[in-house]
Amino acid sequence: MEFLQTEEPSVQKPIIIAAMQDMGNVGSIVVNFINKNLRTKKFRTARTPFPTYVIDNGGYIDLPNEIWEYRFTDDLIVFGGGTGQPQENQELNMLCQDVIDVSKKYSVKFIYTLGGFHTKRSLDKNPKTFVTTTSKSLTEHMQGLGIDITPQRSLITGFNGLILGFAKQNGIQGIGMYGELNQPEIPQYRAAISIIKTIEKLTFRKLGDTTRLEVMAQEIEREYGN
């Protein structure tokens, strides 16, 4: 994994929102939405020097441009988005550790991550966001705020789960937010909207108008008959 710092962000004890592409593209949808609406500025990049897959265009291939960005604005650091995430455990661990190193460097207060929560429950265009945290006391606080807690014991794989483990190991409070979805193979804009509203509730920060995401959700529903 290769890291390049291009400038020092002007942030004071920020929070970090860190998520990568996962089920339903939820991580990328939310990260890209935040970056666009808050006009964040790039200050650091992470990239894998070796391709983890190739793109077959129907007779010829292209290499993926796997670069993930750290961006900042107003005491907020946003990491991730993009297409895909490292497939090798060593690279994934290096990426998580870099997020922790950046968190320590800038005295981050919280790490928020997010992704999809696969369920068979009929969502009726109104998916819930379930939350898990790095401590029982923090979970109890979430419950006091009326936030839905993940309903059962499970394994959370990939960056959007593992980063919480790295946060806990390093004494940083972390919250994972996972939006319900039925079809993980297609973009899940309603799950993304649910997560965005949960972030806004927890951070007291307005992230932007979700009307465009609603339109995208309707287009997906028309195309796939949902």
Q: Which residue has the tokens 């790490």?
A: 111
Closest alpha carbon to 70 in 8, 115, 161, 116: 8
Sign of CA dihedral 47, 53, 55, 60: positive
Taking the chain, what is the end-to-end CA distance rounded to the nearest angstrom?
Answer: 40
53 pLDDT higher than 90: no
* Average pLDDT rounded to a whole number, residues 74-82: 90
pLDDT at 225: 66
pLDDT digits (tens, 9 = 90+) for 176-212: 999 999 888 889 999 999 999 999 999 999 999 999 9
Identify the CATH number of the domain in which residue 114 sits.
Answer: 3.40.50.10900
The total number of structural domains that make up the chain = 1
Burial of 139 (0-12, 13-18, 19+ CB in 10 A): middle
pLDDT at 112: 97
Give the domain extent around 77. Answer: 2-224
Q: Please give the residue that has the higher pLDDT: either 109 or 64.
A: 109
